[in-house]
């Protein structure tokens, strides 16, 4: 086969690889190619059918999921068994990361909307990684810390905006708070 064609096909395979997918997630963007190979060896790939439950609110949390294909709905239970949708996540999004480092019950439920492929990283895997490859684990934790920090800052700004909105509403309506 002509080397030109080989290179074109090789590039396509690289872009479809698990390492390529992981490298493009913000948590893992600082990992070296060797560290990505190590990570690739510990994550778990699983395919889900449409409308399949990944976990339910209250379940013990043991790690995070990254969406490689498909769509996932995050929701919390409401009154009269209603589902309050919190987010609809797509390719490249991840969820459940808060239980990666500390065991806690899931604060919401997750269900696929369509056929979906998820990549899971679990606490047991990260603890083993910390023993065998502490430098790789440090880079992952720095990436995770950066993302969680950004999300907390955004949530704080949203809370302030909502409080101001409520304050403005109560002031114009003459409602005492």
What pLDDT score does 174 carry?
Answer: 62
Pairing of strands 72-77, 53-55: unpaired
CATH of the domain at 62: 2.60.120.10
Q: What is the pTM of this model?
A: 0.81
Residue 26 in any domain: the answer is no
Instruction: Tell me the average pLDDT across 10-34.
Output: 84
Task: Give the neighbor-by-neighbor strand order of the sheet with 94-95.
Answer: 44-48, 116-122, 63-69, 94-95
> Total domain count for the chain?
1
Mean pLDDT rounded to a whole number for the chain: 88
Residue 34 in any domain: the answer is no
Q: Is the pLDDT of residue 110 over 60?
A: yes
- What residue numbers bound the domain in which 122 lies? 43-173
Residue 129 in any domain: the answer is yes
Residue 32 in any domain: the answer is no
Select from 22, 94, 25, 102 the least CA-distant residue to 62. 102
pLDDT band at 77 (very low <50, low <70, confident <90, very high): confident
Residue 91 in any domain: the answer is yes
Residue 16 in any domain: the answer is no
| CA atoms of 110 and 51, how far apart (whole Å) | 10
Instruction: Tell me the average pLDDT across 65-69.
Output: 97
Residue in the block written with tokens 């949203």: 158
Instruction: Tell me the average pLDDT across 89-113.
Output: 93
Residue 24 in any domain: the answer is no
Phi, psi of 156 (to 5 degrees): -60, -45
């Amino acid at each position: 086969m002509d080397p030109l064609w080989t290179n074109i096909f090789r590039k396509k395979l690289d872009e479809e690889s698990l390492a390529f997918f992981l490298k493009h997630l913000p948590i893992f963007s600082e990992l070296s190619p060797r560290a990505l190979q190590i990570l690739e060896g510990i994550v778990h790939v699983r395919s889900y059918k449409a409308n399949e439950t990944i976990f339910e609110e209250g379940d013990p949390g043991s790690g995070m999921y990254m969406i490689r294909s498909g769509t996932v709905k995050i929701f919390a239970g409401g009154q009269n068994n209603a589902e309050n949708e919190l987010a609809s996540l797509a390719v490249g999004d991840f969820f459940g990361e808060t239980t990666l480092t500390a065991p806690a019950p899931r604060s919401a439920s997750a269900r696929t909307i369509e056929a979906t492929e998820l990549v899971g990283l679990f606490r047991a895997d990260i603890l083993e990684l910390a023993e065998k490859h502490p430098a790789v684990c440090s880079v992952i934790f720095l990436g995770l810390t950066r993302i969680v920090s950004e999300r907390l800052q955004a949530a704080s700004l949203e809370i302030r905006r909502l409080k101001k909105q409520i304050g403005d509403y109560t002031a114009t309506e003459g409602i005492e708070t």
